Structures are given as C-alpha cells and as structure tokens.
Amino acid sequence: MFKVGSWVVAERYARVMAMSKDLERIEKGLMAVVEFLKDDNMKNFFANPVLPWWIKVGIWEKIASQNDVPEVLTRVISFMIKKNRLDLIERVMMIFRKLKNRKEGVVEVDVEVAMETPKELLDFLKKSLEKFFAKRVSMNVKVNPELIAGLRVRCEDKVWEMSVNAVLNEFVNRVVSE
C-alpha cells in the first residue's frame, strides 16, 4: 500500500532524471531496472532489512557500471535503495515517461480496444490522432472485452467513447429515465 506522499516522492525522483539530456537512455535504463526488480530474488535481496543499505548500493552500482546505466539513473536508484524506496520504481518510471513526453512535445494517449486489433488499424489511428493533436503521439493500447466492439480513447482529461458498450449503456439510461 502506497502512502499519498509516495506520489510526491516518486515525482521528485522522476524530475531529477527528466532534467538530463539523455532521456532515451534513462528511459531504457528505467525499463531495465523495473524488469530486473520483477525477479523475486532481486526484489527480496533489495528489500532484505538485514542487509545494510551500503552493501545493496555497492552491488547496484557494480551492476550499473557493467551495464552502461546513465550516471543520473545510477545515483537516483542508489538513493532509492538507501531510503528503502525501490517499491516506487514503477511510479517513478510512469512519471518520468510523462515528463519526457511533455518535454519532447509528445501527447500520451490511452486506447482501449474491444479485441486484438491489427497493427495497420492502430497505425492509422495513431496517424489520425497525430493529425488531430498536431503533435507526435505515444499510444498505450489495452484490450478491454467489456467494450464489446469499438474503442475508448483517453488523453489527459478527455475521453472519446466509441464502443458498443457505451451505446448500450446510453440506451438503457434513456429507457430507464422514461
């Protein structure tokens, strides 16, 4: 369970890294760290309260130096280990991506589709959204069978609902209200 302040802390870590000029390498490094920490042995090692933080940091820094991890990422992860906050790494990555995209003028769009969708159709949707926003688009696609057919597009505080489920819900609401 995360505390409310954990979002603030995660954002601070992400902002430090977002000030760097090497955003692509940091993003790739962050993704690798998240994957690395999904391994139960690694997760348990870094969460082990018996091991002092400086041993964990030393091992992390050795791993980082052998894998060409950017300096700023190495330092942020070391600090997170010291403060026992590696559980925030996925939040840090999510916030970092948002900051990176904003800095690069990229619009983040979440798309829910009712079923697996051909790549050509998703490419067409992406190009259409890039035209609409007049910016590059980063599309996160998820399959949501509850939509029945169609899709739902979210961008910041806007939602475009183009699904059979939405039409059926609207119909039911009209019938019930009459």
What is the DSSP annotation of 100-120? HHHHTTEEEEEEEESS---HH
Q: 107 has which bridge partners?
A: 137
Average pLDDT on 83-103 reads 92
Give the three-class secondary structure for 20: coil
Question: DSSP of 114-142, one letter per residue?
Answer: SS---HHHHHHHHHHHHHHHTSEEEEEEE
Closest residue by Cα to residue 110 from 119, 96, 98, 100:
98
Among 60-64, 111-115, 171-175, name the one with the lowest average pLDDT: 171-175
pLDDT surpasses 70 at 22: yes
**For residues 54 and 140, which has the higher predicted lDDT (pLDDT)?**
54
Alpha carbon distance 170, 67 (integer Å):
53
pLDDT band at 61 (very low <50, low <70, confident <90, very high): very high
Unique residue bearing structure tokens 């961008």: 155
**Encoded tokens for 66:** 């052998």
pLDDT band at 4 (very low <50, low <70, confident <90, very high): low
Q: Please tell me the chain's helix, strand, coil percentages from 3-state DSSP, rounded to the nearest 5.
A: 65, 15, 20
pLDDT band at 7 (very low <50, low <70, confident <90, very high): confident
pLDDT surpasses 70 at 95: yes
**Encoded tokens for 167:** 């039409």
Question: Can you give the pLDDT at residue 3?
Answer: 57
As assigned by CATH, the class of the 5-101 domain is mainly alpha
* Share above pLDDT 70 across residues of the chain, in percent, rounded to a whole number: 95
**Spans of all domains in the chain:** 5-101, 106-177
The total of other beta-carbon atoms located within 10 Å of residue 61's CB is 16
CB contact at 8 A, 20 and 75? no
Alpha carbon distance 177, 155 (integer Å):
30
Alpha carbon distance 10, 20 (integer Å):
17
When the pLDDT of each residue in the chain is averaged and rounded to a whole number, the result is: 88
